[in-house]
Amino acid sequence: MLRTKLLTAAAATALLATPAFAQEAQPAQTPAPAAATPTASSESEAGNVIEVLRAKGEFSTLLTALDQAQLTETLASRPAITIFAPTDAAFAALPEADRTRLLDPANAQELRTLLLYHVIVSDVEEGMISGARGGVQTAANNSQVMLDGTGDSIKVDAATVTQADLDASNGAVFVIDQVLNPATSQAAMGDEEPMAPAEEAAAPAAEAVTETTAPAEPGATAPNGQPAATTTTVASPPVENPTDGQVDSQEDPANPAPTPTPN
C-alpha cells in the first residue's frame, strides 16, 4: 500500500510541531529576493525546491503565495520536502473572488493551510507512487492527500501531475494542473476500506422475505372478526439444515433403529 511505501512521510510529521510549520501567525518578513538567472554551472546542480520553482518560470502565483504565507524560507531550508506545485494557469482557473481572498493579508492563515496541503515532509519519487494508491499525511495538520499512481497518469486528489519528480537539493517538485484544497480531500484519515453499516449488512436477508396479497376466500375473516377482503402470505427462503445428508456413525442407545422383521 502507498502508506507503507511512504513511511518516511508519516514519521516526519513530528516536524510539524517545530516553529517552521507552526500554525500561529508569523511576524512579517521581507520576501526573498528573486533568484539570479542560472548559469551553465548552476544548471548542472539542482537548487532547493524554491529555486527549482523560480527556474521553471510558470509558478509566479505560487511563489507570491508562499511569500505571503511566510513559507518561502522554510521550504527552501527544510530537508526532504516534496511540493505538489500548481502552475500559474491552475491558479488562474480559480474564481477571482477566491484568489483575491487567499492573497489578502487578513487571510494569511487560510492561505498557509492551503499551501501546506501541497507539501509532504518527505522526498517522494515518482516510482514510489506508480502502481500504488492511498492517503498520505501532508504538512497541513490532520490532512491527508490522496496519491493515485494506478492510472495512466499520477493523480493528486483530483489534480493531474503534468511533470513528475523535478529533482531539488532538498526534495522534489511535482507539477499539477489544479490547486488542491484540504476541504475536498479524497483521502480519509486512514486508507482502510470502510466497513458497511450493520443495517446495510442485514439488508439482503430482509429483502429475501416476500409478501403476496390475494383476494380472500369466501367466509374468511380478519383478526377483528370482520369479513376479510384480502389475505397476505409471507414467505421466507428455506433454511439449510447443516445435518442434511449426514449419517450417524454410531447408533443412539436411547433410540435404537428398528430391527427388520423377517417375512
Nine cell digits for residue 183: 476541504
Is residue 194 assigned to a domain?
no
| Residue 64: CATH number of its domain | 2.30.180.10
**Inside any domain, residue 34:** no
- Report the number of distinct structural domains present in the chain: 1
Whether 161 is in a domain gets the answer yes
What is the extent of the structural domain holding 136?
A: 2-15+48-184
CA angle 17, 22, 24 (to 5 degrees): 140
In this predicted model, which residue has the larger pLDDT, 251 or 216?
216
Residue with the larger pLDDT of the pair 217 and 139: 139
The grid cell for 70 is 511566510
pTM exceeds 0.85 = no
58 occurs within a structural domain: yes
pLDDT of residue 64: 95
Is 206 within a domain? no
Establish if 76 belongs to a structural domain. yes
Give strand pairing partners of 154.
none
Asked if residue 34 has pLDDT above 80, the reply is no
| Gap between the Cα atoms of 122 and 6, Å rounded | 8
Residue 253 inside a domain? The answer is no
Residue 107 lies in a domain: yes
What is the tens place of the pLDDT at every residue in 80-116? 999 999 999 999 999 999 999 999 999 999 999 999 9
C-alpha distances out from residue 65 to 35, 86, 113, 118, Å: 16, 11, 11, 12
